A = this chain, B = another copy of it.
């Protein structure tokens, strides 16, 4: 089959690789129908996150089950399924309590020896714990299928941020980050009943999506000026619920700056940078909580799926460029240069 391989910083290629086969009785092989490029893939692309030359890449996909191991019970050949960005066994104590990201047997697509999501097919370990079946009728509805793909990462990650931020009906929420995750954070906050959602962002294409997703206010300033603007919008107090969807020092500083005393920051931006930008003394004095981390999206898929199926939420607008598998390198370039928000890969 053909799949995306990362050889070095800025060197992404689509190459012939071995076809995936069932290796263990709990495996399934999924023929990919849709996948995409994630903001976190760019950390590998830019050489910030280390990868061995020749590793596969991509961790968001949905597709059709092509083959199952003898122990697989929850899906069958021909089923349309979506995969979360980590596989998990579904039975360990962490999985039992919903923290699938800490699964004892969990792993990340594209790690050495495993398939990545940006290829024609994927061997899925622990298929029963990992995959979630989708209504087969969705396969013929491209808009719906695109929306469902966000269940594999960005929608669940945005939801995790909103949960960590403590969003409740009536909440005022500040959202740092105008990438696909930040936008999904807006959508998730709206879904959880937030009254007021202040999105920080300066690119109109993105802030227009934020408004469509439920943002009531947009702040185009950055850094200190952004903090001032949010304080002005909140009678000098800041937002009790803050979503941090970037992971840089500057973003964390902004998140703390716009948080109300006693509030919570739901952090889902993977921490990057020489230091964290976190003034522990300040969050201590102001009783600001930090909650979040790698999102256990497998747990969230069954909660979020019905709202996509019945049209309550439609996260599909986070994709603004579609490529075929051959176009993946171009897709990375577009996201790296910020000419694309999030790139869909159609097979």
Residues of A within 8 A of B (CB): 93-94, 97, 99, 101-102, 164, 237, 261-262, 264, 267, 270-271, 275-276, 278, 280-281, 283-294, 296
With both beta carbons as reference points, the residue of chain B lying nearest to A288 in the complex is identified as B293
With both beta carbons as reference points, the residue of chain B lying nearest to A266 in the complex is identified as B289
How far is A267 from B289 in the complex, measured between Cα atoms in Å?
Answer: 10
User: In the bound complex, do residue B284 and residue A292 qualify as a contact, i.e. CB atoms below 8 Å apart?
Assistant: yes
Q: Which residues of the other chain, B, contact A292 by a CB distance below 8 angstroms?
A: 284, 287, 289
Given A283-B293, A286-B102, A293-B283, check contact A94 B271 (CB 8 Å): no
Q: Which residues of the other chain, B, contact A94 by a CB distance below 8 angstroms?
A: 261-262
A-B contact pairs, 17 of them (CB 8 A): A93-B237, A97-B262, A99-B262, A101-B285, A101-B287, A102-B262, A102-B287, A164-B289, A267-B284, A271-B281, A271-B284, A276-B280, A284-B292, A285-B293, A288-B293, A289-B290, A290-B291
How far is A52 from B216 in the complex, measured between Cα atoms in Å?
Answer: 47
User: In the bound complex, do residue B294 and residue A284 qualify as a contact, i.e. CB atoms below 8 Å apart?
Assistant: yes
How far is A267 from B291 in the complex, measured between Cα atoms in Å?
Answer: 13
Most buried by B among A264, A288, A290, A296: A290
Q: Which residues of the other chain, B, contact A267 by a CB distance below 8 angstroms?
A: 284
How far is A288 from B337 in the complex, measured between Cα atoms in Å?
Answer: 33
- In angstroms, how far is the closest chain B Cβ from the Cβ of A252? 8
- In angstroms, how far is the closest chain B Cβ from the Cβ of A48? 13
User: In the bound complex, do residue B99 and residue A261 qualify as a contact, i.e. CB atoms below 8 Å apart?
Assistant: yes
Which residue of the partner chain, among B237, B271, B278, B291, contacts A291 with CB atoms under 8 Å?
B291
- In angstroms, how far is the closest chain B Cβ from the Cβ of A29? 29
**Nearest 7 interchain pairs by C-beta:** A287-B293, A102-B261, A276-B280, A289-B291, A99-B262, A284-B293, A290-B290
User: In the bound complex, do residue B290 and residue A294 qualify as a contact, i.e. CB atoms below 8 Å apart?
Assistant: no
- In angstroms, how far is the closest chain B Cβ from the Cβ of A71? 26
Q: Which residues of the other chain, B, contact A237 by a CB distance below 8 angstroms?
A: 93
Q: Which residues of the other chain, B, contact A271 by a CB distance below 8 angstroms?
A: 280-281, 284
User: In the bound complex, do residue A287 and residue B294 qualify as a contact, i.e. CB atoms below 8 Å apart?
Assistant: yes
How far is A288 from B293 in the complex, measured between Cα atoms in Å?
Answer: 8
